[in-house]
């Protein structure tokens, strides 16, 4: 169970707080969806949950324990918006093992199969994959580290309709094992599979009831 308690983020350089009094609870094996326009604070919220930025007020808790950024970096896996822009290696194998040379081929195979890429040779260059396959590889890069919480920033951005629905089906499968939190400005493909739904405007989060 993830919970954010009265979380605010107001760096000294910004006139207005970027996040204000955010409260959120996400049980395990469920998917939360946060929908808001550009500039509303979605990416900032994910960066705090991933331990890449630190809130100025409030706490992030996991199983009733308050976590520090270093612990959140271990717990959470963040898939950036347009994650394929962050590929750094020349093969799928090296991309998956980057920073984690200890991972066994079995672990890599299991992860690739979890994202529907089992037929791809490990020697394939990431840039040679299709757009949808690159998104799947980006998910695999995070999943192979076994995070307890998977954070996704605009996972359907830039995909055509068929790749968007395939990605939604994949997320529905992944939430059987992981807690997922997705932020987006366009929820159309994801509303059906979300268990919890919030909207965010100017850094303020509001629960949306169906």
Ligand X SMILES: Nc1ncnc2c1ncn2[C@@H]1O[C@H](COP(=O)(O)OP(=O)(O)OP(=O)(O)O)[C@@H](O)[C@H]1O
Interaction site with ligand X (CB under 6 A): 11, 13-14, 18, 36, 38-44, 185
Nearer to ligand X, 118 or 188 (CB): 188
CB of 42 to Mg ion, least distance (A): 5
Q: Does 133 bind Mg ion (CB under 5 A)?
A: no
Q: Which is nearer to Mg ion, 43 or 134 (CB)?
A: 43
> How far apart are CB 19 and ligand X at their closest, in Å?
8
Q: What contacts 45, CB < 8 A, 6 or more positions away?
A: 7, 19, 22, 34, 183, 200, 205
Which is nearer to ligand X, 19 or 140 (by Cβ)? 19
| Smallest separation, CB 43 to Mg ion (Å) | 3
Taking CB under 5 A as the criterion, the residue among 43, 55, 142, 179 binding Mg ion is 43
Instruction: Name which of ligand X, Mg ion, none residue 28 binds, using a CB cut-off of 5 to 8 Å depending on partner kind.
Output: none
DSSP 3-state of 210: coil
CA 136 to chain centre: 12
The residue among 95 and 154 lying less far from ligand X, judged by its C-beta, is 154
What is the DSSP track for 33-77? Answer: EEE--TTSSHHHHHHHHTTSS--SEEEEEETTEE--HHHHHHHEE
Structure token pair of residue 96: 């998956």
Report the residue number whose CB is nearest to Mg ion.
43
Q: In what order do the strands lie in the sheet with 65-66?
A: 19-26, 2-9, 57-62, 65-66
- How, if at all, do strands 149-153 and 179-184 pair? parallel
- Interface contacts to Mg ion, rule CB under 5 A: 43
């Amino acid at each position: 169970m993830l919970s954010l308690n009265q979380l605010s983020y107001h760096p000294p350089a910004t006139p207005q707080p970027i996040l204000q009094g955010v409260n959120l609870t996400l049980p395990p094996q469920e998917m939360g969806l946060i929908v808001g326009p550009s500039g509303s604070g979605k990416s900032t919220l994910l960066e705090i949950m991933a331990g890449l930025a630190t809130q100025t007020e409030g706490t992030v808790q996991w199983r009733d324990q308050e976590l520090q950024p270093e612990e959140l970096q271990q717990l959470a896996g963040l898939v950036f918006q347009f994650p394929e822009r962050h590929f750094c290696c020349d093969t799928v194998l090296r991309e998956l093992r980057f920073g984690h040379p200890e991972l066994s081929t079995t672990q890599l195979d299991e992860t690739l199969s979890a994202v529907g890429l089992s037929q791809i040779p490990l020697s394939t260059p990431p840039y040679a994959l299709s757009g949808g396959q690159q998104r799947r590889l980006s998910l695999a890069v995070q999943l192979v580290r076994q995070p307890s919480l998977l954070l996704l920033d605009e996972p359907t951005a830039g995909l055509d309709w068929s790749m968007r629905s395939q990605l939604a089906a994949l997320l529905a499968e992944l939430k059987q094992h992981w807690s997922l939190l997705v932020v987006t400005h366009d929820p159309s493909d994801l509303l059906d599979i979300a268990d919890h739904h919030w909207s965010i405007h100017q850094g303020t989060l509001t629960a949306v009831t169906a």
